[in-house]
Amino acid sequence: MMRALVLGSLLSALAACGDDVGPAPSDAEVDAAVTADAERPLPSLEEGELLPGGATTLAEAGASAFLQPAANLSLSRRSQFEAGLQFFRLQWVPAPGRADLDGLGPTYNADSCIACHIRNGRSLPAGNAEDGVLLRLGPATGGPDAYYGEQLQPRAVPGVPAEARVERHRIDAGSVTLGDGTEVALTRVEHELIDLGGPPLAATTLISPRVAQQLVGMGLLEAISDVALLAGEDPDDVDGDGISGRAAHLESGDLGRFGWKAAEPTVVGQTAAAFHQDLGLTSELRPEPNCPRGQTACVAAPSGGEPELVPARLAATAAYVRLLGVPPRRGGDDAETLRGKALFAEVGCAACHTPAFETGAALEPELTEQRIWPYTDLLLHDMGDDLADGRPEGDATGVEWRTAPLWGLGLVDEVNGGFRLLHDGRARSLAEAILWHGGEAASARAAYRALSAEERAALERFVFSL
């Protein structure tokens, strides 16, 4: 394809510079790329593409798009969905309290699921630092911090010291010049722990900040078969495209799918982990209180039951998360979006952000055998030093992240009144998010830099239509 050749030559020109923040491509090269683009036929829509969640896809998007039950739930199944919704919204209280509401803490991040997954969308780390982002802790060799555990809990019940307060600083990270001369300023974020409830943080402990993702199609991602997921792997980069995604092989034998590092294999596992680490409630899957041994007041604090979250409630919450509907595409079939779709494939985004999968057996009957469009391969990729947190988790190393699903991303602004992209929310725009991509995504990033302003706008229109 002509366009691919033009991009190829631009890529080698960029690669020849050695430094990937090096000189921009010449005007002639950019003009050639634009001319080639104008001559290209548009791709067509694929079957089912505008229904990203298959039969679960909602009729309408809008500000409540992440809160709706799957479109194909029967009335009686809807009441099951609503039963789980209660526990997702519930504000838990410290023990001893009302028997069916207590168990919060002793240390915790928030008192409800919805406090972070605002309207089931994303947390906004620009606002309240403690709500918007959580911090995982531990050394580069793996495992938890010896005193503070694997996650910092900045809140605690009365009588127990909170682990610390968090201050978030946005730091200038220079700028990148795009092919047409446009400058994009980048910022990073750093987190400082103040008012520590125990000893100073160990010098070897790394901080891995995470924003809460939009909750779209979790049950459908769970229903992609292991076989389909493994088919995308190329750990030794046999096809030579520079991309060597690999599945997260967890110690349990399961494949990790959820979280920024794919450390959790199932929705119920992720839900139990959230209750345990974020809210401080024990469950059958996480029976031990979330109190590192050295934190004596935490260890001694009253319990809300054994477990604090009865099995039926854990199951109901997980079912609610699985049964959320997927928003429809918005304006996916206009010419600019289709041009953006072509560019998404050509610059190499689709090599990791795999457009479509077929689901297999599912825990909820409504989710089986659906053609879904999550734009992720659910695999781990080396994303380079600039995104690395240095802290291994599950099967992921300190430079690896799970390809982020892109469905629903274009609705986050409407749902949450703003958005911050990437695992720590450092990127304030799509351009910034792409320009932070490195490692296996370095050539996609370079190809993006070489696009014209019109092409970048078309790519953005496509991504935000997902």
Q: Shortest approach of ligand HEC to residue 50 CB, angstroms?
A: 19
Assess contact for 400 and 378: CB atoms under 8 A.
no
Residue from 10, 186, 207, 383 in contact with ligand HEC (CB under 6 A):
383
Q: Which residues contact residue 203 at a Cβ distance below 8 angstroms, ignoring those fewer than 6 apart?
A: none
210 binds ligand HEC (CB under 6 A): yes
437 binds ligand HEC (CB under 6 A): yes
Q: Which of 40-48, 89-97, 141-149, 417-425 is the region at the interface with ligand HEC (rule: CB under 6 A)? A: 417-425
Q: Shortest approach of ligand HEC to residue 242 CB, angstroms?
A: 8
Tell me which residue has tokens 């010449």. 26
317 binds ligand HEC (CB under 6 A): yes
In terms of CB distance, is 201 or 281 closer to ligand HEC?
A: 281
Q: Which of 53-61, 68-76, 109-117, 299-307 is the region at the interface with ligand HEC (rule: CB under 6 A)? A: 109-117
Tell me which residue has tokens 């979280």. 259
Residue from 155, 313, 330, 353 in contact with ligand HEC (CB under 6 A):
353
- Whether residue 209 has a cis bond before it, omega within 30° of 0: no
Tell me the Ramachandran region of residue 375: left when phi exceeds 0, alpha when psi lies from -120 to 50, beta otherwise: left
423 binds ligand HEC (CB under 6 A): yes
432 binds ligand HEC (CB under 6 A): no
57 binds ligand HEC (CB under 6 A): no
Restricting to residues 189-208, name those near ligand HEC by CB under 6 A: none
Rounded Cα distance, 449 and 184, in Å: 10
Rounded Cα distance, 319 and 312, in Å: 10
116 binds ligand HEC (CB under 6 A): yes
Assess contact for 13 and 179: CB atoms under 8 A.
no
435 binds ligand HEC (CB under 6 A): no
Q: Which two tokens stand for residue 149?
A: 């555990």
Assess contact for 70 and 325: CB atoms under 8 A.
yes
Q: Which two tokens stand for residue 438?
A: 């490195």
Rounded Cα distance, 206 and 213, in Å: 22
348 binds ligand HEC (CB under 6 A): yes
Binding to ligand HEC by CB under 6 A, coded x per residue (else -) over 224-263, reads -------------------x--------------xxxx-x
In terms of CB distance, is 61 or 402 closer to ligand HEC?
A: 402
Q: Which of 29-37, 189-197, 332-340, 418-426 is the region at the interface with ligand HEC (rule: CB under 6 A)? A: 418-426
Q: Which of 27-35, 47-55, 286-294, 343-351 is the region at the interface with ligand HEC (rule: CB under 6 A)? A: 343-351
Please state, in angstroms and as integers, the Cα–Cα distance from residue 117 to each residue in 124, 278, 409, following that order: 9, 12, 14
Q: Shortest approach of ligand HEC to residue 120 CB, angstroms?
A: 9
Tell me which residue has tokens 């920024």. 260
Rounded Cα distance, 240 and 421, in Å: 29
Using the CB atoms, write b or e for 151-187: b if 16+ within 10 Å.
bbbbbbbeebebbbbbebeeeebeebebbbeeeeebe
Rounded Cα distance, 209 and 217, in Å: 24
270 binds ligand HEC (CB under 6 A): yes
Q: Shortest approach of ligand HEC to residue 224 CB, angstroms?
A: 13
Assess contact for 43 and 310: CB atoms under 8 A.
no
Q: Shortest approach of ligand HEC to residue 262 CB, angstroms?
A: 8
68 binds ligand HEC (CB under 6 A): no
Q: Which residues contact residue 65 at a Cβ distance below 8 angstroms, ignoring those fewer than 6 apart?
A: 58, 327, 408, 411, 414, 415
Q: Which of 108-116, 171-179, 293-301, 354-362 is the region at the interface with ligand HEC (rule: CB under 6 A)? A: 108-116
Residue from 32, 90, 202, 404 in contact with ligand HEC (CB under 6 A):
404
387 binds ligand HEC (CB under 6 A): yes
In terms of CB distance, is 291 or 353 closer to ligand HEC?
A: 353
81 binds ligand HEC (CB under 6 A): no
Q: Shortest approach of ligand HEC to residue 46 CB, angstroms?
A: 18
Q: Which two tokens stand for residue 71?
A: 């479109």
Assess contact for 435 and 188: CB atoms under 8 A.
no
Site residues, ligand HEC (CB under 6 A): 88, 109-110, 113, 115-117, 134, 210-213, 215, 218, 243, 258-261, 263, 267, 270-271, 274-275, 278-279, 317, 321, 347-349, 351-353, 381, 383, 387, 401-404, 406, 409, 421-423, 430, 433-434, 437, 440-441, 444, 448, 463
